A = this chain, B = another copy of it.
Amino acid sequence: MIKSIERECQMTTFTIKEIAKRFNLPFAGNGNIEITGLCGLSDNLPNCLSFLNSSKLLTTGSQSNIPAFVTKPDLVVEGKTNIFSDNPELDISKIAELFVMPPMQQEQSIAPTAVIGKNCELADDITLGPNVVIGDNVKIAKGTIIMAGVVIMDNVSIGESCKIYPNVTIREACQIHNRVIIQPGTVIGSDGYGFVSVAGTHHKIPQIGIVVIEDDVEIGANCGIDRGRFNETRIGRGTKIDNLVHIGHNVIIGENCLIVAFVGISGSTQLGNNVTLAGKVGIAGHIKITDNVTCLAVAGVTKSITEPGIYAGYPAKPAKLWHKAIARFYRE
C-alpha cells in the first residue's frame, strides 16, 4: 500500500548565490543555502525559497522553517537569507522556472505513434507526443509541443512555442497563434449552440466558422470554446482563461482579460480589453462589455456595460448598488 510517496522526482537544487546571480538580484545572508523548491509562507517548508512583500508578515517569516525569502529592499526577514527585488512575486515567478519539471520526456520529437495527415507543414523542432492525431493541411510552427492524445483536425494552424496539453481537441480550421497554452481536456472549435425552431422541432444551424486564439493566451482544463456560426470566435492577445469556462459562438474577447472558472459567455457577445470576470459570472448573448470592467463572482450580466467599473449581482449593477441591496436583503 502506498501511504506517502516522497517527491523523489524533484531533484533540482540551487544555492541562493546561484539564484541571485542568475536573476541579477542582490542578497544578504548565507548564500550557500541549498534550495530544492519554492513554497508559500504558510507551507513553511525547510529547503525551500519563499517570498514576502508586506511588513506584517516579517515576524511569521522570521519564525518559520523557511531558510530564505525574496523580499523588497526595505523589508528584511530577520535570521534568514534575503534576496531583494522590486517585485518579489514577479521575480519568484521567474525563479520558479528553474524548478519546472519537463512534463513528458520522450526520446524522439515526433512519437512513432503520432498519426499525421497529408499536406501538413510542421516545423522541424516541434514535439508530437504519443498517439497525437493531426489531420490534413495542418500547420505547426517552431517550438510548439503537442502532448499525448491531442487531436488536431484538418486545416488547423498553430503558431510558435505553444504548449497543447494531453487530450485537447482542436477542431477543423481553427487558428492558434503564438505562445498559447491549452491545459488538458479543453475543446476548441466545438459547434455553437445554434438551432432554428420550426413547429417545436429544433433544426441545427451548421456552424461553419472558426475560433481564433491570439498570442499569449492561456486556457485552463476542460473548457469549451465554440466556433463561429458563419464567421469567427476570437480570444484576444494575453487573455487568461481558467478551468471549465464556456465561450459561445461568435464571442469576441479583447486583450489581457481575466476569465475565471465556470464563467459562461453567451453567443455573439463582445468584451473589451482588461475585462475581469470572476468565478461563475454569466454574460448574456449579443451584448457588449467595455474596457476595464470587473464583474464580481456570480454576477449575471444581462445588458451591455458601457462604463468601466465594478459590477455585481443578477441582473448585474454597479457593485455599490448591489452591496447596499444585499445588506438590506439580509437585514432583519
* In the assembled complex, A67 has its CB within 8 A of some CB on chain B: no
Binds B, one of A15-23, A54-62, A73-81, A127-135: A127-135
Residue contact A220 to B190, C-beta cutoff 8 Å: yes
B177, B250, B315: the one within 8 Å of A40 (CB): B250
Residue contact B154 to A165, C-beta cutoff 8 Å: no
Nearest residue (CB) in B for A177 is: B2
Q: Which residues of B contact A287 (CB under 8 A)?
A: none
Q: A173-209 interface mask toward B, CB cutoff 8 Å, 1 = contact, 0 = none?
A: 1010110010111110011010110101111111010
* In the assembled complex, A14 has its CB within 8 A of some CB on chain B: no
Residue contact A202 to B148, C-beta cutoff 8 Å: no
Residue contact A231 to B264, C-beta cutoff 8 Å: no
Q: Which residues of B contact A266 (CB under 8 A)?
A: 261, 279
A37, B118: Cα distance in complex, Å: 25
Nearest residue (CB) in B for A204 is: B218
Knowing A93-B205, A167-B167, A173-B9 are in contact, say whether A231-B115 is a contact too (CB < 8 A).
no
Q: A156-172 interface mask toward B, CB cutoff 8 Å, 1 = contact, 0 = none?
A: 01011000011101011
Q: Which residues of chain A (79-136) have a CB below 8 Å from chain B?
A: 87, 89-90, 92-93, 96-97, 99-106, 111, 113, 115, 117-118, 129-131, 133, 135-136
Q: Which residues of B contact A230 (CB under 8 A)?
A: 37-40, 43, 48, 96
Q: Which residues of B contact A99 (CB under 8 A)?
A: 206, 208
- For this chain, the copies found in one complex come to 3
A130, B61: Cα distance in complex, Å: 50
Residue contact B117 to A5, C-beta cutoff 8 Å: no
* In the assembled complex, A243 has its CB within 8 A of some CB on chain B: yes
* In the assembled complex, A210 has its CB within 8 A of some CB on chain B: yes
Residue contact A9 to B193, C-beta cutoff 8 Å: no
Q: Which residues of B contact A130 (CB under 8 A)?
A: 115, 133
* In the assembled complex, A238 has its CB within 8 A of some CB on chain B: yes
B45, B101, B115: the one within 8 Å of A172 (CB): B101
Q: Give the distance to chain B from A200, nearest Cβ to Cβ, in Å.
A: 6
Task: Please give 16 more A-B residue pairs, beta carbons under 8 A apart, in addition to A104-B172, A220-B224, A244-B264.
Answer: A1-B160, A2-B141, A2-B178, A40-B230, A96-B206, A103-B153, A130-B133, A148-B153, A151-B167, A184-B190, A185-B222, A201-B256, A244-B244, A264-B279, A280-B282, A321-B330
A interface residues, Cβ below 8 angstroms from B: 1-3, 5, 7-10, 37-40, 43, 45, 48, 87, 89-90, 92-93, 96-97, 99-106, 111, 113, 115, 117-118, 129-131, 133, 135-137, 139, 141, 147-149, 151, 153-155, 157, 159-160, 165-167, 169, 171-173, 175, 177-178, 181, 183-187, 190-191, 193, 195-196, 198, 200-206, 208, 210, 218, 220-224, 226, 229-231, 238, 240, 242-244, 246, 248, 250, 256, 258, 260-262, 264, 266, 268, 274, 279-280, 282, 284, 297-298, 300, 302, 313-315, 317, 321-322, 324-326, 328-330, 332
